[in-house]
């Protein structure tokens, strides 16, 4: 009969199963909603109090900032007003240094060299692939939307840009990886400066004419033989700020050595473990102050803005283009990657990161957000501490998806504003230099503007035109930092999933080694006890 009606029994049964499944789920959902009590609501609010307070703080900060703009506060008044926000930044930055060192040392020491090597390779592959994807998204979006139509004559300029040579910037990156003084690395980074120097350049001359000139006038001969030439030369210098890259390299090496020392390195391992735990407890205390600090950080920045009309016109299109690019990467690409690799719901994972993402939005520094990111991943999302302690500090230093996307997009925008047609080779050059420069961008506010000079220089674009986009950089910097933090966190979740077998094997090995150590200790204790019991007997016989 079913065949005569043209219906397939298999498809019919499938449809019935789907309908039954939907009915069951709706019934379960109804029951859950009906069974919710006041106590359940209270416990939910208490569990998510930090997140709710932080989100409310952002909303209140925006409202407060725009409501205070008509009063036209002076620079001094703005600084006083945003002081609570400055305090939060200082508190978080205070914890970054001990947190990076302790978390990396304990994370690496807890793994054997083989497991940490595999985890490192996975993390680096993830970082590189997401950064390249981000750069490609930035290039495609800016080419499609083309926000740089028109001329740059009427556009507002702001600030000054320091010239940087790509070769020197790359060498500085390598130099910072190996700091000569660890104490200095805690507050200074190496940076090549430039100064003008005069050099004597010899001029080749005819022998006969030289002899004749010496005979006639010695001073005239000296002038012809030598000539002074002015040249800009690189000289060693430094800038204030934590050399995170150098500390990361040292901590990884130190952790590997401690891990290979086994029992000899146990004391150091316990010390760094305790230090890490103490820092995380301090983070828990600072979290109570975070909402208030974020409120004043955002409100202060909105009050500080000079002219809102600057963001109109071409910069409005540029801002929208950057936001679309960052949204595609953060809302589509990263969650899709997480789902494809782990086969888990990415939105549940991202839901546990809300506080870290809001803190990144408020502070605009991935390094300052690091303590909060640790807390969210370990306590809310339950990611293995051995993974977070390794992946997060490295990610906060070298994984800059948002910055890479922004730099590639901004470089092409500046080319469009200058009516400069980029060929395929130049676009490839931009993508490579944007990827490399984003690694060199330290996790500090607006570091992307410094590395932008390298990207523009690589294709011969005017570096002074960076001043065209500074007006909106404070806002876009917050968005790209949030994307960076999301990329690091999803990376930790992916690396944990891929390294689950190594982590289980390590747990089993650690369990076996503890049993072996206990078994080894027992006979020694028995021997010492026997010796103690024998000693008085010997003394009695001698007596």
Taking only the tens place, the pLDDT of each residue in 416-457 is 888 888 888 888 888 888 888 777 665 444 566 667 888 888
pLDDT tens readout for residues 285-342? 888 898 999 999 999 988 887 666 655 666 888 999 999 999 999 999 999 999 999 9
Residues whose CB falls within 8 Å of the CB of residue 281, separated by 6 or more in sequence, listed in order: none
- pLDDT at residue 435, as a whole number: 83
Greater confidence (63 vs 306) lies with: 63
Looking at the structure, tell me whether residues 216 and 153 fall in a common domain: no
Looking at the structure, tell me whether residues 219 and 302 fall in a common domain: no
Looking at the structure, tell me whether residues 82 and 220 fall in a common domain: no
Looking at the structure, tell me whether residues 431 and 330 fall in a common domain: yes
pLDDT level of residue 381 (50, 70, 90 thresholds): very high
* Domain-embedded: residue 491: yes
Mean pLDDT of the chain: 80
Looking at the structure, tell me whether residues 468 and 490 fall in a common domain: yes
| pLDDT higher than threshold 90 for residue 213 | no
Q: Of 35-39, 205-209, 373-377, 470-474, where does the model show the most confidence? A: 373-377
Greater confidence (237 vs 308) lies with: 237
* Domain-embedded: residue 465: yes
Looking at the structure, tell me whether residues 358 and 417 fall in a common domain: yes
* Domain-embedded: residue 540: no
CB atoms within 10 A of CB 17: 10
Looking at the structure, tell me whether residues 288 and 338 fall in a common domain: yes
Q: How far apart are CA 253 and CA 48, in angstroms?
A: 38
pLDDT level of residue 368 (50, 70, 90 thresholds): confident
Q: What percent of the chain has pLDDT over 70?
A: 79
Range of the domain at 358: 46-187+241-506
Cα dihedral 292→296→298→302 (10° resolution): 160
Looking at the structure, tell me whether residues 300 and 217 fall in a common domain: no
Q: Of 31-35, 47-51, 320-324, where does the model show the most confidence? A: 320-324
Nearest Cα to Cα of residue 477 among 368, 334, 377, 314: 368
Lowest mean pLDDT segment, chosen from 146-160, 446-460, 468-482 = 146-160
pLDDT level of residue 9 (50, 70, 90 thresholds): low
Residues whose CB falls within 8 Å of the CB of residue 340, separated by 6 or more in sequence, listed in order: none
Q: What is the CATH number of the domain that holds 115?
A: 1.10.3860.10
Mean per-residue pLDDT, 36-57? 80
Bridge pairing between strands 226-240 and 188-202 = antiparallel
Looking at the structure, tell me whether residues 67 and 169 fall in a common domain: yes
Number of domains in the chain: 2
pLDDT tens readout for residues 224-234? 555 667 777 88
- pLDDT at residue 210, as a whole number: 54
Looking at the structure, tell me whether residues 169 and 216 fall in a common domain: no
| pLDDT higher than threshold 50 for residue 98 | yes
Sign of the CA dihedral 350, 353, 356, 362?
positive
* Residue pair 496/395 in contact by the 8 Å Cβ criterion: no
Greater confidence (333 vs 465) lies with: 333
- pLDDT at residue 152, as a whole number: 60
Instruction: Provide the 3-class DSSP secondary structure of residue 151.
Output: coil
- pLDDT at residue 521, as a whole number: 43
- pLDDT at residue 446, as a whole number: 52
* Domain-embedded: residue 207: yes
Nearest Cα to Cα of residue 300 among 85, 471, 477: 85
* Domain-embedded: residue 23: no
| pLDDT higher than threshold 90 for residue 49 | no
Alpha carbon of residue 161 to chain centroid? 23
- pLDDT at residue 503, as a whole number: 86
Q: Is the pTM of this model over 0.85?
A: no
- pLDDT at residue 217, as a whole number: 58
Sign of the CA dihedral 12, 16, 22, 23?
positive
Looking at the structure, tell me whether residues 183 and 267 fall in a common domain: yes
* Domain-embedded: residue 526: no
* Domain-embedded: residue 3: no
Looking at the structure, tell me whether residues 248 and 377 fall in a common domain: yes
* Domain-embedded: residue 90: yes
Per-residue CA distances from 42 to 30, 47, 289, 353 (Å): 20, 9, 22, 21
């Amino acid at each position: 009969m079913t065949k005569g009606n043209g219906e397939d029994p298999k498809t019919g049964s499938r449809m019935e199963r789907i309908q039954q499944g939907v009915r069951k789920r709706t019934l379960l959902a109804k029951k859950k909603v009906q069974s919710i009590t006041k106590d359940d609501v209270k416990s939910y609010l208490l569990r998510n109090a930090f997140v709710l307070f932080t989100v409310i703080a952002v909303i209140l900060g925006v409202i407060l900032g725009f409501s205070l703009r008509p009063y036209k506060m002076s620079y001094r008044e703005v600084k006083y007003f945003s002081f609570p926000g400055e305090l939060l930044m200082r508190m978080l930055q205070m914890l970054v240094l001990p947190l990076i060192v302790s978390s990396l040392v304990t994370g690496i020491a807890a793994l054997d060299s083989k497991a940490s090597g595999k985890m490192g390779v996975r993390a680096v592959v993830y970082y590189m692939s997401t950064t390249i994807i981000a750069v490609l998204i930035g290039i495609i979006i800016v080419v499609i939307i083309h926000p740089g139509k028109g001329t740059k004559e009427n556009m507002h300029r702001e600030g000054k840009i320091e010239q940087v040579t790509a070769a020197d910037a790359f060498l500085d990156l390598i130099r910072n990886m190996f700091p000569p003084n660890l104490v200095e690395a805690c507050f200074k980074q190496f940076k090549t400066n430039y100064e003008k120097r005069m050099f004597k350049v010899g001029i080749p001359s005819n022998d006969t004419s030289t002899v004749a000139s010496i005979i006639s006038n010695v001073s005239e001969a000296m002038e012809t033989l030598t000539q002074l030439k002015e040249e800009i030369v690189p000289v060693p210098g430094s800038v204030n700020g934590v050399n995170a890259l150098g500390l990361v390299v040292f901590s990884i090496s130190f952790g590997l050595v401690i891990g290979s020392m086994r029992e000899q390195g146990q004391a150091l391992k316990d010390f760094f473990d305790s230090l890490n735990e103490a820092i995380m407890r301090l983070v828990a205390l600072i979290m109570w102050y975070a909402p208030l600090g974020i409120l004043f950080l955002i409100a202060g920045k909105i009050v500080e803005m000079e002219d809102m009309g600057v963001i109109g016109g071409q910069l409005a299109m540029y801002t929208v283009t950057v936001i679309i690019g960052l949204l595609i990467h953060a809302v589509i690409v990263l969650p899709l990657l997480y789902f494809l690799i782990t086969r888990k719901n990415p939105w549940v994972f991202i839901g546990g990161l809300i506080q870290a993402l809001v803190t990144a939005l408020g502070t605009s520094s991935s390094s300052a957000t690091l303590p909060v990111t640790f807390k969210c991943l370990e306590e809310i999302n339950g990611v293995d501490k051995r993974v977070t302690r390794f992946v997060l500090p490295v990610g906060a230093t070298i994984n800059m998806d948002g910055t890479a996307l922004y730099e590639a997009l901004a470089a092409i925008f500046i080319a469009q504003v200058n009516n400069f047609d980029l060929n395929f080779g130049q676009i490839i050059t931009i993508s490579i230099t944007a990827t490399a420069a984003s690694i060199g961008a330290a996790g500090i506010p607006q570091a992307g503007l410094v590395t932008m000079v390298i990207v523009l220089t690589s294709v011969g674009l005017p570096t002074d035109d960076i001043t065209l986009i500074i007006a909106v950089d404070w806002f876009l910097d917050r968005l790209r930092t949030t994307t960076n933090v999301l990329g690091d966190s999803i990376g930790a979740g992916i690396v944990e999933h891929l390294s689950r077998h190594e982590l289980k094997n390590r747990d089993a090995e650690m369990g076996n080694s503890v049993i072996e150590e206990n078994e080894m200790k027992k006979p020694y204790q028995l021997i010492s006890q026997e010796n103690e019991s024998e000693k008085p007997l010997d003394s009695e016989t001698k007596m």
